[in-house]
Every structure is written in C-alpha cells, then in structure tokens.
Chain A
C-alpha cells in the first residue's frame, strides 16, 4: 500500500494572514531542548484555526540574518489575551538564535497561515497521532475538538520520555485517553503500537477522523487503520519555506496530482488528506 497526500477541498472564507510586530512575553525551555515562546499577536490569535502556522522571523527587526523565517505550528492561542504560543525544538542555527529572544523584544511574525485541520460537523470521536515536535500542530485541534464536545484519543510518541510534548495540556483539556510511547521504551514500534490502537478503537467504538503529524510511520499506520475502520485521515506535513504565502514556490511537495506544479505545503497544506493506492 502506498500512501498519497491530496489537498483538502478548497476552504471556505478564512481570515487573511497579517504581519504583526509581536512582543515576546515569554521564551523558556519547557523540557530538555524544547522551548515555548509566547507572542503578543492579537490579530493572529483572533483568527487562528487548528493546524495553521505562523512564520517567525528569527532575525531581529534591525537584522537581516538568518535570512529565512521559520514556519512554526501554532501550539495554542488565546483570542482574549491576544497571545499565541509556539513550541519549538532546538535543532539548528535558526532555532538556537530563537532561544536568545528575550521578553519585551519585537518579532516579525506573519500568520495565521495555511489550511487548517477540518473537523466534520458529524464527527463525534477522533484519534490524534503525533510524534516529536509534530505533536505541536495537534494540541490546538484537541482543544477545539473538546470545546465542541468531541471525544479525543491522543497518542504521542517521541525518542525518549523527556521529549514527549504536551502531556499536561492534553490531560488538562480532558482527552478520553492519552497514550505515551517512546523509542527508548520500545513502545513506539509499529508492532507494539498496532494492538494498543486496536484496543483503543474498540473502547471508543471507532473514530470518525484521524489526525497525524510528525512521522511518516504514524501516517502509514493511520492510513491502514482508516482503511479498516472507514475513518478519514488528515496529516500535517513540514517543509522549509521562505514566504509562507505561496509566491516563492519553495515548499512544493513533489506530490503527484496537480496539473503543473505539485501542491505547495504553505497554501495547499500544511494539512492534507491522506489516501492510498492498493
């Protein structure tokens, strides 16, 4: 079976992205190598939807390097407080510079960007499968689903237990179940995960939709699950980007299906539907 990503049906009316000169209100390490930055960006916070992202410019306002801004999933947002949260892992030069940002500094921020996860009106129960930093695009979805009274089963995976992101947030919003698996414990292996998912599925009487981020292996697993249970799968994928708006064409997926160029992660995604070829 080969998994294929397809753009979701064209979205309805959605807020235009905005440029905000966002004040940093917090930037701290929340677990080894993972940081949470909070930005005052009321217009982004007021119109963000689950699965959308923002471009965070790592270079200060009076600096021109690093040249490329970083596309970051919106971990959470508070329309009343006018703030957005981004959780990032320090993986290279850009994210290392990001850790040096202090409270009170002003960051070039563009958002909200991209197509959000779509919860179907009839959906009563969902499964979230996230791995590593990819978990960050699922936390907002979990909150939105809970607000709508949707049952949420969350499975989060990481290399080591310290790298599991979002445990307390998933617990706080009262997901029906939270399953934590790691490479270190061997519990993230597909052959060990599969039976646990099967047990979860029967306990929850099946899911209407499955959402995945952060792992191709989990995406394949979700798609197989979907084939058996008739759930629809949406996946959020990562790409390097320069503009985030669709004009630089730096983030083409290389996916088949478009008339000419393959879809762009920034405007045709980052959330795609998942289907399969037998």
Chain B
C-alpha cells in the first residue's frame, strides 16, 4: 500500500503532519504517554520575558462540552526557558514552535530579539490575547493597530517564521487578520479561547478565581469555524484552525473550510492520545479516498468548497 504523505507547509516551515498541539494544552510531559515524534510540531506554552506567577486558584472549570481556564500563563521567564524548558522540546524530531506573549508591544519585540539566534527554534507563534498593560489591560489582539505594531516589530527582529494566533474576542476578526498579514505574518492561527465565565447557583460565587476565563473545547467549534472561514477568505497566507477539534470529522471540516493545519487543545486533556489517534485516522481517511497527500486533498476540498458556495442559495454571514 502506498504511504500517505501527510506533510504540509506553513510558509517556510515544513510540518510532517497537519495535526499539532495548541499552546497551553501541551507539554513534553506528554512524552510519557504518547510518541511526540508523531506530531506535526511541538508548541510551547506561551512564555514572557520576565517570570510571571499566573492567576489565583481556582483556575479551571467545566461547562457543557467545554472548559474554562484562568491559568493566567505563569512563566519562568525567557532565560530559564532557554536553559531549562526548550531542550525538553527540541530533543524530539518535529519542529518546535515557541509561543510568545507580552504585556506591552515592546515585550514581544524584546522576546523576539532574544530568541532570534537561539538554535533549534523553528517558528514563533505570537499569542496576542494578552492584556496590554499600557492600554488599560485590553487584549492587544483586539486592536488592529497594536497587532500591526507587535508583528512588524517582531518581523524586523527575527527571520523565524511568524504565526500570529488571533483572538476571537473582537468585532471583526478579519481586521486583525489583515493587519497581521500586512505587518509580515507568515501564517495565522485561529482561534484562541473565547472569553467566558460561569456562576454557581448553589454557592452564589464565581467558580473561577478571576471570575472570567477562556472557554475552549467542542462548545466553541462553530464559532471558531466561522472565524477560520472568514479569515481564509480575507488573507492569502496559511491558516491553522483551532477550536474544539476532537474527532477526524472535526479535522476534515477545518481542512474543508480552508485551514492548512489544525491545533488540538482541550481534547488532549480528555484523551491524551487524541493527536496520535487523529493522525492515524487522517492517513486512513485519505487512503480510503485514494489520496496520497494532505496538500493535494486540501486543494480539492477547497475547490469543492468554492463550488459548493457558488451553487448554494444558503444565506452567508457577512464577512
């Protein structure tokens, strides 16, 4: 039987498979449970320049088909990250994508500069869903001008491929997507967690330490898919789909919508072998339909999508 070629390209970055972890829902600790060499890439938890303690407990909650987190991205700071954490990622074969965050535009720039010449980093993913402490704590990613400033500043300081991870907590995700592309992003990933909260009718208190938190899991898939749909039509760079991916059908759907690759988040908590299982199932899915490569199929699926839209009378969301 012919081997199926799963590899995809994200700008200059070559991924052995289109199935990779979402930042924050992955760590090298998973290597005790699954073969990390089978993943499309390894994506670090978001790091900051300085150490951060993260948010107070409770940091987790569960909702219908989803979960809430207010972890608050604790970080050991960039120097300890380079010395202690990074080698635990780069010892594996797949590319290492380092997720960077900042509480100001300049913090992203400083991080990019510090990481520019560190060996074995294959790409940066910019987590722009961080509060901008210089602009009243609003998400940096909600302001297209701030996004452009972050991305162009990072672009001028590193030659690493740049993936910009978009926040869904905006009125128009197309505006921030276009801002990121124009400022030099090589790819986009969409979407980060939706801002949510929960209340407890019995206790009369908010279960999360910070009251609000990020909603992830199957519950957000329709919103995430709508966002990816809008973004792939607005930009010409590759888009990585994220949001509620747990089954092979979810993966195929994102590819059909036009994503080049996908990131798996909460499903790794549910079943730690999800990414490996989906990779096996993607191979089987492609083989059963006579395909030999993800790319070839994605293009056909994209064509099918356009044909479907041209033929469809269904009302379409305003983009």
Contact = CB atoms under 8 A, between A and B. Distances in A.
B69 A242 contact: yes
Interface string A231-244: 00000000111110
A239 B33 contact: no
B29 A94 contact: no
A230 B270 CA distance: 43
B235 interface: no
A260 B53 contact: yes
A261 B270 contact: no
B59 A250 contact: yes
Q: Rank and list the top 8 A-B pairs by shortest CB-CB distance, nearest first.
A: A247-B27, A64-B246, A261-B74, A245-B29, A19-B33, A250-B60, A242-B269, A65-B65
Main secondary structure of the interface of B (DSSP, over half): loop
Please classify how large the interface on chain B is, using the bins under 10, 10 to 19, 20 to 34, 35 or more.
35 or more
Given A65-B65, A243-B27, A243-B29, A19 B34 contact: yes
Given A64-B218, A67-B218, A249 B74 contact: yes
Contacts of B247: 64
Nearest to A240: B60
B269 to A, nearest CB: 4
Given A240-B58, A243-B27, A248 B71 contact: yes
Contacts of A249: 45, 54, 59, 71, 74
A57 B65 contact: no
A16 B51 CA distance: 28
Given A246-B27, A247-B29, A261 B54 contact: yes
A214 B151 CA distance: 49
B58 A64 contact: no
Nearest to B272: A19
B259 to A, nearest CB: 19
A18 interface: yes
A252 B74 contact: yes
B267 interface: yes
A69 B272 CA distance: 10
A66 interface: yes
A104 to B, nearest CB: 19
A36 to B, nearest CB: 23
A108 B32 CA distance: 15
Contacts of A67: 62, 65-67, 217-218, 266-267, 269-270
Please classify how large the interface on chain A is, using the bins under 10, 10 to 19, 20 to 34, 35 or more.
35 or more
Interface of B: 24-30, 32-34, 45, 51-54, 56-62, 64-67, 69, 71, 74-77, 217-218, 246-247, 266-273
Nearest to A265: B57
A26 interface: no
A259 B65 CA distance: 36
Contacts of A136: none
A98 to B, nearest CB: 14
B29 A246 contact: yes
A248 B25 contact: yes
A245 B27 contact: yes
Contacts of B26: 247
Contacts of B34: 19
A250 B69 contact: yes
Interface string A47-73: 000000000010101001111110000
A254 interface: yes
A59 B270 CA distance: 7
Given A64-B246, A260-B53, 15 more contacts: A64-B65, A65-B64, A65-B270, A67-B66, A240-B60, A242-B69, A243-B269, A245-B32, A248-B27, A251-B57, A252-B71, A253-B57, A254-B56, A260-B52, A260-B75
Chain A CB within 10 A, most for which of B26, B45, B57, B75: B57
B67 A242 contact: yes
A66 B246 CA distance: 12
A110 interface: yes
Contacts of A247: 26-30, 45
A241 B58 CA distance: 10
A248 B271 contact: no
13 contacts: A57-B270, A59-B270, A64-B246, A67-B65, A67-B67, A240-B61, A242-B60, A242-B269, A243-B29, A248-B69, A254-B57, A260-B77, A262-B53
A245 B32 CA distance: 9
Contact of B270 (A68, A252, A262): A68
A108 B29 CA distance: 17
Chain B CB within 10 A, most for which of A66, A94, A250, A253: A250
A261 B62 CA distance: 23
Nearest to A262: B53
A124 interface: no
B272 A110 contact: yes
B58 A65 contact: no
